[in-house]
Amino acid sequence: MTFVQHFLLSPAAKTLSLAQVFRMSDAEAEAMFCKVRWPDTQGKRVCPDCGGLDAYTARRANGALRFRCKACKVDFTVTSGTLFASHKLPLKGYLAAIAIFCNEVKGKSMLALSRDLGTSYKTAFVLAHKMREAMAVELKGRTLGGPGKIAEVDGGYFGGYVKPANLKEHRADRRFADNQSGKRKAVVVIRERNGNSLPAVFRSEGAALNFIKTRVAKGTVINADEADAWNELHSRYEMK
């Protein structure tokens, strides 16, 4: 019998930990940000104005990292043109926020995040929304699968809980729509085998069909459960 290890327990899920961030020097944090910002050039700075690769370091008077393009003479930073532009926290603080935000298995409260980073609640709240927005931009337009590839589709319902009355004779049948809050949503996730994932929120699993058809390429083998919501996919994909 073979046991499959949960991904979050594997070394591949521990590429950036909070302990690693705390051990980094300011120079190492800057180098890490450069590699994340410009992965195609292995961290070598790229001018966001002209696309030139010939830029040199021209730090501000307070020591903050800044670059100057030799071609167009434009000054830019590692966060220029991103959601973190004109940042006020040190780069190490942003790396710590990303590590905390991404490594939490069941989410992170903004109050706890503000305490971990030593910031105000409002700063942590805005920072977390910026990270969510960055994740949404990364997923925009993403397609999965293709000929010979396998994707798994499943959904779960969350929210909209209606607390039953204490007395049995006062309780309403919550299976009827009139007795529901209308806030219950279905989170549908498409996961390409050994590839990327694509989540989205809908009123029901059946409402996700057009989304799945748009984002999953033809020729993909889709694995799903036996829910009636996926029946329409049989005409377009091989289903298992």
Question: Does 3 have pLDDT greater than 60?
Answer: no
pLDDT of residue 185: 92
> Region 64-78: what's the mean pLDDT?
88
Helix (H, G, I), strand (E, B) or coil at 61: coil
> Region 2-22: what's the mean pLDDT?
70
Q: Which of 153, 137, 155 is nearest to 216 (CA)?
A: 153
The residue with greater pLDDT, 220 or 92, is: 220
pLDDT of residue 25: 87
Neighbours of 186 (CB within 10 A): 19
CA atoms within a 13 Å half-sphere pointing along the CA-CB vector of 153: 29
Per-domain boundaries in the chain? 8-139, 150-239
Query: What is the overall mean pLDDT for the chain?
Result: 87
Identity of the residue numbered 212: I
Q: pLDDT per residue over 102-159, tens digit each?
A: 888 788 899 999 999 899 999 999 999 988 888 888 788 889 999 999 999 999 999 8
Question: Does 177 have pLDDT greater than 90?
Answer: no
pLDDT of residue 27: 86
Q: DSSP labels for 77-142?
A: -TTTTSTTTT--S-HHHHHHHHHHHHH-TT---HHHHHHHHT--HHHHHHHHHHHHHHHHHHHTT-
Task: Enter the pTM of the model.
Answer: 0.64
pLDDT of residue 220: 95
pLDDT band at 237 (very low <50, low <70, confident <90, very high): very high
pLDDT of residue 2: 52
**How many angstroms separate the Cα of 59 from the Cα of each of 27, 86, 235?**
13, 15, 59
